[in-house]
Chains A and B, each alone.
Chain A
Amino acid sequence: AQSVTQLGSHVSVSEGALVLLRCNYSSSVPPYLFWYVQYPNQGLQLLLKYTSAATLVKGINGFEAEFKKSETSFHLTKPSAHMSDAAEYFCAVRRPSGNTPLVFGKGTRLSVIA
């Protein structure tokens, strides 16, 4: 079975500071990995995805994530936080083949302080 652990249900950073949201996964096979963002009262929007190509993945809004197999991690980073980044972020995993659902982490709420 696959699973995702997001460390920290709430992360607070100052505007302009580095954003680091942690995600560790468990999977018996090399997985596909995703980060989604959810703004208040909205659905989930894909930030970026890893599908076994380059291990450093760049997404929208200046976010990027690095797949590290040895650490089973897929942490999300952004060099400089903006007020508009305040949202909830979900890491998700699925097997690359077969009928397998997205398995989500419990989410990390990011607050950005002026």
Chain B
Amino acid sequence: EAQVTQNPRYLITVTGKKLTVTCSQNMNHEYMSWYRQDPGLGLRQIYYSMNVEATDKGDVPEGYKVSRKEKRNFPLILESPSPNQTSLYFCASSPWPSNTEAFFGQGTRLTVV
């Protein structure tokens, strides 16, 4: 089954404790991205990657890092989480260059206390 898998689904952590949210896709897509969803703001792109070793900032990259060492994986790293990063995070992948449809993971609900 074609899918984007995120882990964990739920995470509660403390301020400053580094964490990683994993994302993996099995569709051989070149393009992957991370979004955060906040009430009343919709989804905003954090980072994206057009292929292995090619990443770039989206609209709200501050406080986040990503890496793309393999085509299927695109982890999101919070080196020093803060409460304002409490949010619902989605990973998405798309074929490139057609990019006509994004496939989303189930989401990771992160709470930073």
Contacts and interface: CB of A to CB of B under 8 A. Distances in A.
Contacts of A41: 107
B100 A44 contact: no
* Main SS at interface, chain B: strand
A44 B105 CA distance: 8
Interface residues of B, number: 24
Interface in A87-114: 90, 94, 99, 101-102, 104-107
Contacts, number: 48
A42 B37 CA distance: 12
A83 to B, nearest CB: 23
Nearest to B102: A102
Contacts of B43: 44, 90, 102, 104
A107 B105 contact: no
A99 B55 CA distance: 12
A44 to B, nearest CB: 4
B42 A107 contact: yes
B48 A101 contact: yes
A101 B106 contact: no
Contacts of B99: 94
Interface in B42-91: 42-45, 48, 50, 58-59, 90
A44 B107 CA distance: 9
B42 A43 contact: no
B40 A106 contact: yes
Nearest to A51: B100
A82 interface: no
Interface in A33-90: 34, 36, 41-46, 49, 51, 90
Given A90-B43, A101-B45, 5 more contacts: A44-B90, A44-B102, A49-B101, A101-B33, A104-B44
19 contacts: A32-B100, A41-B107, A42-B106, A43-B90, A43-B104, A44-B90, A44-B104, A45-B104, A46-B102, A49-B100, A51-B100, A90-B43, A102-B43, A102-B92, A104-B35, A104-B43, A105-B42, A106-B40, A106-B41
